[in-house]
Structure 1
Amino acid sequence: MFEVPLAAAGLALLAPRPVPGPSLAESALSTLSDSAGPIVAGGISFGAHLAAEWAVAHPSRCAGLVLALPAWHGAPGAAPASRSARLSAAAVRASGVDGALSGADMPEWIYAELSRAWRGYGDGLAESLEVAASRAAPTLAELASLDVPVGIAACADDPIHPASVAAEWARALPRARVCTTRLAVVGVDREALGRAAVLAFLRAAGAT
């Protein structure tokens, strides 16, 4: 989703494999810290939370953020994405990946994406989903401390990652822009989400 849009903006994509299980978040944060910086960090959904969390902790090493579909700020509370991840974890524990996916109501392309992504987590999938569901994202006050360009992509028709959350992040961040697309568009054009995030980043950086 991001490789081609990033390349068009002159940015190379580094996408390390996640480490499933209880160390999912810490391993991702360590990977960012081990990278030669300053770097532009990014991610989708929980990955966006982790990229922003890392930037808050290491502001001098972050050159910017390219984010898509942030799901909450601060504690997850009753956020739809947190609830969805918990339910998915329970379904995986009870029925395995195939059973969990077959019992979910979703467009065919999301089914295919989840089927591909979830299988990469192996036996650590359910625990990884629980980690994502329970970990706090940066608070709005923490986001306000980040004086770097931030591009945020949102889908106007995504009930799990409400566009209103992306707007709240953007209002808190000193140098952020939001570009929106729709799930229906991403379904036929996988790079649409990446293009929206990169375009927002370029606008935040003053490049367009």
Structure 2
Amino acid sequence: MPSDSRPCVAVVLPGTGSDADFVARAFTEPLTCRGVRTAAVEPDPRRVVGSYVDALDAAAAQHGRILVGGVSIGAAVALQWAGSHPDRVAGVLAALPAWTGTAADAPAAASARFTAARLRADGLEQVTAEMIASSPPWLGRELAKSWRSQWPHLPAALDEASEYHAPGEGDLERITVPVGIAAATDDAVHPLEVAREWSERLPHAGLVTVTLDEIGADPAILGYASLDALDSVLHTT
């Protein structure tokens, strides 16, 4: 990132059911290498999107132009906020975008709705055990920790996320801030096609791909990939 455009703070937002610890590990190291401090937001499961917007507003009021970013729904909220506040944003780091516009039958939204219903019916311990058994080990460990921290409000948080209206096709085309997108080539919940659509419709966007195994080995790969994608845009504008 060119030094004359470097903000001092990046605000990063977790994905559905995730927590500040994961996004901090995803973004802190790569941002620190660029001289940028990371502010990872802990979601309020009673009002996930509202808590994210409050954190973005507060950071911009305190620091001026900031970097914003996140994972999954965190990426969508960050991008939408950036589109509404382009003069307060130096760039967006969007990791694993989940859908465009209305969630409808997007895999991430369907998974959130299903999990919320199961949690209400069968409780945290049983559903967590089943999730761990059916997930890659690293993902099971991450979600088991964050789910417990958000209980008993986790089902409501999952429902809220599943109903979130991300930037639509027209919205993407009108967002002029530079955006770096990181996507996994083998993630069925966050399809690569969504990331490609974002990168094609956003006027100033780059895309770098990784794999789920790489994320599991070191979440910072998401931060490095999204920063590399953002650099590719900044160096051509």
SS at match of 1:160: coil
Indicate the residue corresponding to 2:113 in structure 1.
86
Q: Does residue 1:205 correspond to 2:229, yes or no?
A: no
Indicate the residue corresponding to 2:211 in structure 1.
182
SS at match of 1:103: helix
- TM-score normalized with structure 1 length: 0.94
What is the aligned-residue identity percentage?
38
Counterpart-to-counterpart distance in 1, 2:171 and 2:141: 35
Correspondence 1:52-201 to 2 at 5 A: 52-104=79-131, 105-201=134-230
Which of 3, 9, 12 is residue 37 of structure 2 equivalent to?
A: 12
Segment drifting more, 152-161 vs 28-37: 28-37
The structural deviation recorded for 1:98 is 2.4
Kept after mapping to 2: 8 A contact 1:97/1:115: no
Indicate the residue corresponding to 1:41 in structure 2.
68
The structural deviation recorded for 1:5 is 1.0
- TM-score normalized with structure 2 length: 0.83
SS at match of 1:26: helix
Q: Deviations over 1:17-36 (max 9, x none)?
A: 11111x21112112101213
Kept after mapping to 2: 8 A contact 1:153/1:196: yes
SS at match of 2:67: strand
Q: Deviations over 1:143-185 (max 9, x none)?
A: 2222221100000000000011001001111111010000012
Indicate the residue corresponding to 2:55 in structure 1.
31
The structural deviation recorded for 1:191 is 1.5
SS at match of 1:130: helix
Unaligned runs of 5+ in 1: none
- Letter of the structure 2 residue corresponding to residue 62 of structure 1: V
